[in-house]
Amino acid sequence: MVFDNFFINEPWKMEVDPFQVAPHIYYVGNSYVGSYLIESSDGLILIDQGFSETVHMLFESIRKLGFNPKDIKHLLISHGHVDHCGGTRLVQEYTGAKVYMSQIDYKMMKEHPEWVSLGNVNCLDFTVDYFYSDSTPLNFGDIEIETKLTAGHTPGTTSFFIYDYDFDGTKYRCAMHGGLGFNTMRQDFFEKYPAWPRDLSVSYLKSMESLIGEIVDIPLPSHPAQFPIMDKAGRYEDGDKNPFIDREAFGNMVRKRIEMVQEFLPN
């Protein structure tokens, strides 16, 4: 898996304006990969930091929303791939924020950095302050985030369930699946990375089955192509007028992915 040259040489081709998706959640990623800024009483939270080459665009999006990147206190990583954590160290050094990641993907990063960089020479190593525990939610003042190990795309892919509240106290459960891609389950990926675990399709199926029945008000794609999000940008309004509220989308995605993964299961 090698990213197109424009990801490296012309990252501005992916630039999009930031937009609000929930009362305290904002999309600050680009047209290829998602990043989310969450406003909490315990400082700003940033889920996924993108490529190192796009960190300047990430900071510009945050500033456009009226926030200061220096106020980022917590960096959450969905999984150990360059498009999600390639820029983590730059953001970490600039802000001094604490970094959170699954212990499994941290181990992968240390033992197989090539599985993280995927050929990108600008994937910088970083330190991790906290590992996720599915049994212990992350509490950042008025924002609570449940984490769930959803192995498959990588061994330590983690999904997030975020509880947000509207001005009138209405509660929303927002969810971002940490990694939906099948690219790491294909034969060409195994040929490029021979030591890559071949049974992750089984883990993917099990983790997807564990998500059946999850109640989600607002789905947050880790890549904007996963849910129709860009066409609703700039249309956010409080309460039920929020166009990103879709209580069927997450469940439909889970059922569809369960069907799709069947072809990748080992014989």
Say if residue 267's pLDDT is above 80. no
CA-to-CA distance for 30 and 219, rounded, in angstroms?
17
| CA–CA gap between residue 246 and residue 60 (Å, rounded) | 29
Span 195-199, average pLDDT? 93
Residue 171 pairs with which residues in a beta bridge? 165
pLDDT over 70 at 243, yes or no:
yes
Band of residue 7 on the pLDDT scale cut at 50, 70, 90: low
Alpha-carbon distance 37 to 183, whole Å? 27
Query: Residue 17 has what pLDDT?
Result: 96
CB 178 within 8 A of CB 211: no
pTM over 0.85: yes
Query: Which of the listed CATH numbers 2.60.40.10, 2.30.130.10, 3.30.499.10, 3.60.15.10 matches domain 5-264?
Result: 3.60.15.10
Q: Is pLDDT at 3 greater than 70 in this prediction?
A: no
The residues with which 162 forms a beta bridge, in sequence order, are 145, 174
Segments making up each domain of the chain, as ranges:
5-264
Check pLDDT > 60 for residue 191: yes
Tens digit of pLDDT for each residue in 63-111?
A: 999 999 999 999 999 999 999 999 999 999 999 999 999 999 999 999 9
Interval 194-198 mean pLDDT: 94
Q: DSSP label at 136?
A: B
Q: In Å, what is the CA distance from 42 to each residue of 72, 74, 81, 101, 151?
A: 10, 9, 27, 19, 29
Q: If DSSP codes are grouped into helix, strand and coil, which group holds residue 178?
A: coil
pLDDT for 262 equals 86
236 or 238: whose pLDDT is higher?
236
- Could you tell me which residues are beta bridge partners of residue 40? 43
The total number of residues shown for the chain amounts to: 267
Tell me the mean pLDDT in the region 149-153: 97
Query: Which residues, other chains included, contact 219 with Cβ-Cβ below 8 Å and sequence gap of 6+?
Result: 174, 175, 176, 227, 244, 246, 249, 250, 253
Helices (H) and strands (E) in the chain — how many of each? 9, 12
**What's the confidence (pLDDT) of residue 257?**
95
